[in-house]
Structure 1
Amino acid sequence: MKTRTDTKEKIVELARDLILAGGYPSLSYQQISSKLGIKNAAIHYHYPNKEDLGVEVVRRDSEKFDDFIVAVSGLGHWEKLEAFMSNYRKYLENENRICMIGSTASDYKEIPEQVQISASAYFTTVKEWFVALLESGRKEKAFYFKGEAVNKASLITSAMAGGLQHSRLVGNEHYDAIITQIKLELKE
């Protein structure tokens, strides 16, 4: 017998998969109810509207990143970078999806305000962590780059997110080539 918690978890997981595969605007309660074999009312019970569901999906992705930060906290700079890049690479291995930040950014004008706010906060968390990694790595002579760490973080995260999207068109090797180049540019 399904519990309400199980149903709620399955709704969020499926909504996440659908957003990563096709974007927030194409997400519908009908898709979820059909795939889970439940009524739309069951979805509305947990998430009265699509915006509530979207905010929850982004919030959970952000929490996973918080868990990632904790998990890699004892690693060296290059190990943290490798783990970060490997996390993004997993999207390609799962039916050529893009990351939540990339998905919400590409649909930004079509997503509700609260989802925009949640996605922006999530991106800020990722970027701040990455800036701190680059600054610390440069200070300890693990990374080498010109300019400000915040600008390098912007360049790298944009290249990674864009690389996921472009890989849909030309294959996963495109993303891998971007990662290889990023690593080369961080070495002395």
Structure 2
Amino acid sequence: MKARTDTKEKIMELGTDLVESIGYPSLSYQQISSQLGIKNAAVHYHFPSKESLGLEILNTAIGSFEKMISNISSLGLWEQLDTFFKSYRKHLESNNKICLIGASASDYQELPESMQAAASEYLVLVKGWFVELLREGREEGVFHFKGEPKHKAAVIVSALAGGLQHARLVGNLHYDEIVEQLVEDLKP
């Protein structure tokens, strides 16, 4: 049973990597099986359809995000923000991948409905976390910004996802400059 679990985890890891680097529409079980040195049947055993794999990738990312925010909830607000920015930047350190939210948005019309719903849920979750962080930060005088927290959260989430995509074109410094400006815009 352990070998099946290891294989499933390897399929998930490679599937996630491929979605973040080439997109869901370009993902194929043949790529996965050949890169892992397994038969296509082994991929189908764990994920009967490409949709089931894609949905599991998104649901796993949602669970990982929820775990991360739970783990950092005791940190100061700036530390929570910094931790998120650093976790997001890791995409750039792995061959200029983009986040699953950005990849899902780019491929939205080609995603099955179940994946569209999961991707939307993921974005709503991340944006909601930012809204609460910003609201609390402004109330405590830690963050300063004009407008509503939900609007500022939308700007931040969009800037980060877009920054990862644009970094593919002009280099990782572009993403770092975006984060630096977002931080500056929140300082009291």
Q: What range is the shorter-chain TM-score in?
A: over 0.9
Match of 1:29 in 2: 29
The residue aligned with 2:117 is 117
Aligned counterpart, 1:79:
79
1:22-101 correspondence runs (5 A): 22-101=22-101
User: 1:23 offset after TM fit, Å?
Assistant: 0.5
Task: Say if 2:126 is the partner of 1:126.
Answer: yes
Match of 2:92, SS state, is helix
TM-score by length of 2: 0.98
Q: Deviations over 1:106-126 (max 9, x none)?
A: 110011111111111111111
C-alpha distance in structure 2 between counterparts of 1:23 and 1:6, whole Å: 24
Residue aligning to 1:155: 155
Between Structure 1 and Structure 2, how many residues are aligned? 188
How far apart, in 1, do the equivalents of 2:183 and 2:148 lie? 17
> How much does 1:2 deviate?
6.7
* Structure 2 residue 172 is the aligned partner of structure 1 residue 172: yes
Residue 20 (structure 2) aligns with: 20
Aligned equivalents of 2:165, 2:125: Cα separation in 1: 21
Once the two structures are superposed, residues 99-158 of structure 1 have per-residue CA deviations (whole angstroms, 9 ceiling, x without a partner) of 111111111001111111111111111111110000000000000001100000000110
Q: Which runs of 5+ in 1 are unaligned?
A: none
Q: Provide the C-alpha distance between the structure 1 equivalents of 2:73 and 2:184, rounded to a whole number of angstroms.
A: 23
1:65: how far off?
0.4
| Identical positions, percent | 59
Instruction: Give secondary structure in 2 for the equivalent of 1:92.
Output: coil
Bigger mean CA deviation after superposition, 117-126 or 161-170: 117-126
Cα RMSD of the aligned pairs, angstroms, is 1.1
**What CA deviation, in whole Å up to 9, does each residue of 1:16-73 have, x standing for no partner?**
0000011100000000010111111111111111000000001111111011111101
Secondary structure in 1 aligned to 2:184? helix
**1:63-108: per-residue Cα shift (whole Å, max 9, x none)?**
1101111110100110111011111111111111111111111110
Q: Distance in 2 between matches of 1:146 and 1:11?
A: 44
Matches of 1:115 and 1:9, distance apart in 2: 19
Residue equivalent to 2:181: 181
- The one-letter code of the counterpart of 2:106 is S
